[in-house]
Structure 1
Amino acid sequence: MNDLLYHYIDPAFNHLEVNSYKLLLWVGDKKFSLAVMHHNKLMVWRKPAPLAELTQAGEVQEVLNFKYHEVITGISSSYFTLVAQSVFNESQVKDIARYLDVAPTDTVYAQPLDAFNQVIFKAPETLIQAIKSFDVTQAVFGPSGWIQAVEANQPSADELYLNVNDDRIEIAHFDKGRLNLFNTFEFTHQDELAYYAVFVCQQLKLDLRTLTVKLSGDIAAGDERYQHLLQDIFGAVSLNTLAVATLPEHLPQHQLLALTALSLCASLADV
């Protein structure tokens, strides 16, 4: 395995034992990332890379083609809607999906987001083609694991959770331990990220001065531009150090949270 392609490879990784490993694959419109887990321990972490590499011959294909014990593929989509579990009816999926501007070549999914909500989302043909070597019918909504991980940590209503994925920001707020709001926004500059965070809080009538912002996702070590901007607006800002896997201390937990949390989504596609 080429070390230059990966942020981390555990010294104990053994390709002859991959039948006991789990592959976690996150895919977005432009990029993908992956992790290989042994039980709850991180064995491999792949650098974010262009989506096209998933279909190109090379080292990545070798790793993807191992016969893993389990593969969980998370799809990051900005075309989705949430429906409360208490009122969800599977017969409504086609009607609801029309609001997502579904094209004939798109794939539509309907599955639990967490214990209280269903999510209906679509994936374009280009993304489906990139992961076609896996069972695409078993793909899950990419942010589901991140949301479940935060919920399980009993989040406060005085906290706002932001997860950065390339040029997209995912924002979640929880009240009484349950998801109160989840949405995604495209952004090109940190000022836009701050704008959307404030916009969400205004919609929920939250007091910015009492809120703590928890940041995770694609934020490089030492990159504090988001913190510097947001700390002038909110009560406090910090990186989200919540861990759902056993990681080496030197790895940035906030970057791995959403990816490793896909392990919490194992049964979503089967429900």
Structure 2
Amino acid sequence: MHFVPINFTDPGFNPAYTADFELLVVINQHHFSYAVRHPATQRLVRVNTGNGLDELWNEEKGSELIASNYKKVNIAIETQSFCLVPNAVFSQEDLLDYTKFLVVKEADVILTDEIENGDNTVIFTFPKEVISKLTAQFQTSKIEFAPKGWIKAVMQAQLPGQNLYLYLEENRLQLLFPEGENIRFYNQFDCSTLDELVYFTALVTEQLKLKPEETTLILCGRIEEGGEQQLYLQQFFDQVSLFNSADFRQHSVLKQNQVANFLGLA
């Protein structure tokens, strides 16, 4: 699956004056994306996705991020090495015990974060070298779990009906099923083809014992209305739509489903 990168700048935003804005950076081991947000209006005035990670450390290419003086910087990590633990059973003393469920390499650092309603702690890992670079460059010690951004956005939208949420990327699929204000299911899968997209969605639907005729698939990610992913899923699931809620207050060029990962970052 292929997705077109976003490169948007609000005509009224001047990158030379960023002291009143927040910087949101989402990173995986190969790429990074970022957005600039006004904290009072919550409007995104700059969105840029799909950059090679090396550009972040390049003084010339990454100068807009390195040299700028933002009011606040949020760093969020995309990783497949994670574990969600209900706070009812989580304790910091048992942190190392939970890492047995993760793929932890010698050069990794173990991090924790909370998901949306604070009832779940996520434990995740990422290469220590990259984390050290990030904290030094952006002068921040808080590292967030990137999926919490779109999870918070869809949970707060409170869309009616029984909804299974999908976040689509080029090589990864995330699936979320809320139950009321809580997370009943969340997981990630390696996924690079349309057949794999249908397979993992059907697998989770069956595991959750959801009836297709009563369940709507709601898609997030850099996809277009009527795109191949949506059309292919519609061959197997009756109701497939793009994430959209009435309270979306952004520039008309930006589509809510495409920037959902930035919307919920604190």
| 1:83 maps onto 2:50 in alignment | no
Cα distance, 1:16 vs structure 2:
4.6
* Residues 146 and 258 in structure 1, CA contact (< 8 A), matched pair in contact too: yes
Name the structure 1 match of 2:154.
150
| 1:195 maps onto 2:203 in alignment | no
* Residues 244 and 260 in structure 1, CA contact (< 8 A), matched pair in contact too: no
Where does structure 1 lack aligned partners over 5 or more consecutive residues? 266-271
Counterpart residue identity of residue 250, structure 2: L
Query: Secondary structure of 2:200's match?
Result: helix
| Separation of aligned partners in 2, 1:25 and 1:244 | 23
Matching residue within 160, 172, 177 for 1:173: 177
Name the structure 1 match of 2:230.
227
| 1:70 maps onto 2:72 in alignment | yes
* Residues 38 and 45 in structure 2, CA contact (< 8 A), matched pair in contact too: yes
Report the CA distance shift for 1:105/1:244 in structure 2 as closer, same or farther (over 3 A). farther
* Residues 22 and 38 in structure 2, CA contact (< 8 A), matched pair in contact too: yes
| Separation of aligned partners in 2, 1:14 and 1:163 | 31
Name the structure 2 match of 1:111.
113
Name the structure 1 match of 2:210.
206
Query: Secondary structure of 1:233's match?
Result: coil
| Separation of aligned partners in 2, 1:217 and 1:195 | 18
Report the CA distance shift for 1:238/1:21 in structure 2 as closer, same or farther (over 3 A). same
| 1:122 maps onto 2:117 in alignment | no
Counterpart residue identity of residue 221, structure 2: G
Report the CA distance shift for 1:179/1:96 in structure 2 as closer, same or farther (over 3 A). same
Query: TM-score with structure 1 length normalisation?
Result: 0.87
Cα distance, 1:200 vs structure 2:
0.8
Name the structure 2 match of 1:215.
219
Query: TM-score with structure 2 length normalisation?
Result: 0.89
Moved more, 148-157 or 180-189: 148-157
Counterpart residue identity of residue 163, structure 2: E
Report the CA distance shift for 1:192/1:130 in structure 2 as closer, same or farther (over 3 A). farther
Query: Secondary structure of 2:213's match?
Result: helix
Cα distance, 1:130 vs structure 2:
5.6
Query: Secondary structure of 1:213's match?
Result: strand
| 1:159 maps onto 2:163 in alignment | yes
Counterpart residue identity of residue 29, structure 2: D
Name the structure 2 match of 1:269.
none
Where does structure 2 lack aligned partners over 5 or more consecutive residues? none
Report the CA distance shift for 1:71/1:245 in structure 2 as closer, same or farther (over 3 A). farther
Cα distance, 1:14 vs structure 2:
2.6
Cα distance, 1:135 vs structure 2:
4.4
Report the CA distance shift for 1:223/1:29 in structure 2 as closer, same or farther (over 3 A). farther
Name the structure 1 match of 2:28.
28
Alignment of 1:241-260 (within 5 A): 241-242=244-245, 246-260=249-263
More helix by share: 1
Query: Secondary structure of 2:141's match?
Result: helix
Matching residue within 42, 60, 63 for 2:62: 60
Query: Secondary structure of 1:98's match?
Result: helix
Name the structure 2 match of 1:240.
243
Instruction: Give a deviation string over 1:237-260, Cα, whole Å, max 9, x none.
Output: 111124876321122221111123
* Residues 15 and 64 in structure 2, CA contact (< 8 A), matched pair in contact too: no
* Residues 42 and 246 in structure 1, CA contact (< 8 A), matched pair in contact too: no
Query: Secondary structure of 1:255's match?
Result: helix
Q: What value does the CA root-mean-square deviation take over the aligned residues?
A: 2.1
Report the CA distance shift for 1:243/1:52 in structure 2 as closer, same or farther (over 3 A). farther
Cα distance, 1:157 vs structure 2:
6.0
* Residues 216 and 240 in structure 2, CA contact (< 8 A), matched pair in contact too: yes
| Separation of aligned partners in 2, 1:251 and 1:101 | 36
Instruction: Give a deviation string over 1:12-56, Cα, whole Å, max 9, x none.
Output: 213453111000111122211100011211111113211221112
Instruction: Give a deviation string over 1:212-264, Cα, whole Å, max 9, x none.
Output: 11111132x466111111112222111112487632112222111112321xx
Report the CA distance shift for 1:122/1:206 in structure 2 as closer, same or farther (over 3 A). same
Cα distance, 1:129 vs structure 2:
5.4
Query: Secondary structure of 2:17's match?
Result: helix
